[in-house]
């Protein structure tokens, strides 16, 4: 039987018993989108109208040189959530686990399982990345400091998200549900610009005749239609941003919050997504400060998406963990010097392996290909099935009708090193690595990359199966977190777990078999379908958040049950329960 918790217990669960005043902690909001390069009006693209994002830029700081650590979703998101480069923590392969939010892979229909399995190398087990000891998702630091953290709704971090990460996660997650006076961190993830949405059938809002076709594509009607679809989806996404901004204003939190807008990586089209060229990693980034301070300014410094987590912690007044490889852009812990370089990586993409690294300064892009015998192109079934122009490019390739810039994608071997002048050659078409005039620049970039790799570590040279086997101690399944121990004391119960690095969350229930729930509305963006599990505007039964256990004594009333979950990230979680006699 489901029931609502009493107010006092809800407040305790939400705050973890933390009585600290948070009036000096700013609210922080992330509006994230997927798979777009800076195709926005505020970045100078006149083909697509994005008035809501442009207004954010008018009131905020627009970063002209922001880059992600990968040109594809999951590795990039792993770096964002940890503040560490994905190849440093073993999250560099795309992807490691085939599960949907709230659903295990084994629960999917057999036909769906078979289809998804084709995008995974034969013999490689699905796995959750075992993060190094001490590495945690940054929202847990926020929650421990008293923030209410919500995610609506995507994760895709390459590991099972511990229950200690978010107060709320799902299509109904909202800062609106926080206790009064509590600062919040809220993520809204807009999915309409994702690569998969190139197959949408709605009428185009941008004319194919008006688009600019990059020189690395053939100029055909199919290519123009796909580019127009990308820009149409961006227009839809811009309206969704407007919906969120209207809600923030109506709720009175727009003016007193830091608002970030960014994409998880660059464009969704072939030879954009998954590439470590600028077109795969260059993203829009806008930060609106409370009150619109510094509105309309442009920041030219190099920014990496690995900097986002330390920036949030700095704004919240939380010490940045020493293992984080990013640096804060804002706040009291802002880095004293801007970056000289940003770095990106590409490894396995679905069922195909490669290993590519890139490093960029303000002007030049250096690429190292560790497997030069392979072409740059990967025959990825997911891309072929979703993008009409990909199928057409393959047909033109097979008939020998591709132009030289597109044909270069399929050439093998590829050069071991590449060097591009991104200022003179924004599409990165002309490799300067063999040009004697650039020998000094090539040598400097090569040395800087070697020093960075030595400093940060790179697990990319280890065969993936061997890496997983080392995490699993040579067994065929992941290690299990030790069952949490619950000990009754004079002033309540205390909890512990013997597994090093395990975090512990708990819930309190009045009945032995019920999870406490509250009803929440599903948030919709411009009427868009945002979840396969509920309609926009519908009411959902949402489990009350897990509280983070911090070593305190937890008081229980007679007959109440505490359920405790412990998990080392990458291990299977474990639960224990205790009923107060």
State the catalytic residues. Answer: 73
| Nearest-angstrom CA–CA distance, 268 and 564 | 41
- Helices 51-59 and 221-250 sit at what angle, rounded to 10 degrees? 50
| Nearest-angstrom CA–CA distance, 254 and 333 | 24
DSSP class of residue 49 equals -
| Nearest-angstrom CA–CA distance, 551 and 144 | 12
| Nearest-angstrom CA–CA distance, 522 and 172 | 4
Reduced to 3 states, what is the DSSP secondary structure of residue 311? helix
Cβ pair 29, 249 in contact under 8 A? no
456-463's contacts with Cβ under 8 Å and 24+ in sequence apart are 456/85, 456/88, 456/325, 457/87, 457/88, 458/87, 458/88, 458/345, 458/357, 459/87, 459/88, 459/89, 459/90, 459/92, 460/87, 460/92, 460/345, 460/347, 460/355, 460/357, 460/370, 461/355, 461/370
Residue pointed to by tokens 């880059």: 67
| Nearest-angstrom CA–CA distance, 423 and 365 | 10
Q: Based on C-alpha coordinates, what's the Rg of the chain?
A: 24
| Nearest-angstrom CA–CA distance, 293 and 61 | 9
At 489, list the tokens. Answer: 């004391």
């Amino acid at each position: 039987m489901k029931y609502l918790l009493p107010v006092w217990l809800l407040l305790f669960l939400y705050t973890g018993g933390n009585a600290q005043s948070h009036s000096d902690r700013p609210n922080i909001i992330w509006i994230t989108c997927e798979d777009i390069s800076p195709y926005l009006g505020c970045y100078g693209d006149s083909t697509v109208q994005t008035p809501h994002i442009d207004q954010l830029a008018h009131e905020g700081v627009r970063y002209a040189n922001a880059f992600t650590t990968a040109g594809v979703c999951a590795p990039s998101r792993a770096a964002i959530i940890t503040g560490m480069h994905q190849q440093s923590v073993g999250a560099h392969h795309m992807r490691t686990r085939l599960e949907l939010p709230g659903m295990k892979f084994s629960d999917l229909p057999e036909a769906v399982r078979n289809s998804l399995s084709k995008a995974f190398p034969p013999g490689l087990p699905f796995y959750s990345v075992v993060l190094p000891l001490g590495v945690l998702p940054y929202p847990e630091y926020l929650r421990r400091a008293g923030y209410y953290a919500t995610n609506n709704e995507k994760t895709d971090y390459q590991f099972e998200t511990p229950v200690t990460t978010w107060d709320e996660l799902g299509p109904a997650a909202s800062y609106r549900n926080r206790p009064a006076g509590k600062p919040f961190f809220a993520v809204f993830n807009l999915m309409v610009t994702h690569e998969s949405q190139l197959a949408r059938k709605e009428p185009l809002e941008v004319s194919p005749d008006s688009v600019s076709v990059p020189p690395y594509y053939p100029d055909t009607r199919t290519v123009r239609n796909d580019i127009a679809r990308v820009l149409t989806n961006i227009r839809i996404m811009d309206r969704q941003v407007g919906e969120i901004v209207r809600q923030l204003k109506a709720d009175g939190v727009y003016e007193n919050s830091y608002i970030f807008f960014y994409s998880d990586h660059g464009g969704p089209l072939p030879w954009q997504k998954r590439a470590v060229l600028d077109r795969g990693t260059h993203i829009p980034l806008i930060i609106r400060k409370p009150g619109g301070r510094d509105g309309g300014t442009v920041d030219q410094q190099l920014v990496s998406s690995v900097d986002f987590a330390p920036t949030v912690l700095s704004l919240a007044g939380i010490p940045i963990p020493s293992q984080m490889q990013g640096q804060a852009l804002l706040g009291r812990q802002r880095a004293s010097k801007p970056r000289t370089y940003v770095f990106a990586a590409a490894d396995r993409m679905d069922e195909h392996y490669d290993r590519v690294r890139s490093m960029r300064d303000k002007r030049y892009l250096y690429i190292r290909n560790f497997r030069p015998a392979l072409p740059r192109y990967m025959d990825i079934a997911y891309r072929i099935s979703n993008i009409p122009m990909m199928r057409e490019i393959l047909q033109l390739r097979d008939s020998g009708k591709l132009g030289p810039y597109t044909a270069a994608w399929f050439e093998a071997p590829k050069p071991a090193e590449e060097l591009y002048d991104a200022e003179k050659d924004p599409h990165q078409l002309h490799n300067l690595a063999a040009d004697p005039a650039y020998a000094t620049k090539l040598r400097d970039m090569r040395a800087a990359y070697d020093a960075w790799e030595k400093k940060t570590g790179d697990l990319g040279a280890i065969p993936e199966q061997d890496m997983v086997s080392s995490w699993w101690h040579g067994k065929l399944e992941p290690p299990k977190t030790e069952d949490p121990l619950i000990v009754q004391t004079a002033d309540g119960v205390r909890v512990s777990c013997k597994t090093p690095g395990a975090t512990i969350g708990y819930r309190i229930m009045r009945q032995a078999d019920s999870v406490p729930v509250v009803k929440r509305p599903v948030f919709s963006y411009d009427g868009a379908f945002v979840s396969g599990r509920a309609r926009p505007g519908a009411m959902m039964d949402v489990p009350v958040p897990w509280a983070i256990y911090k070593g305190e004594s937890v008081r229980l009333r007679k007959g109440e049950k505490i359920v405790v979950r412990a998990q080392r990230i990458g291990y299977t979680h474990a639960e224990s329960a205790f009923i107060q006699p």
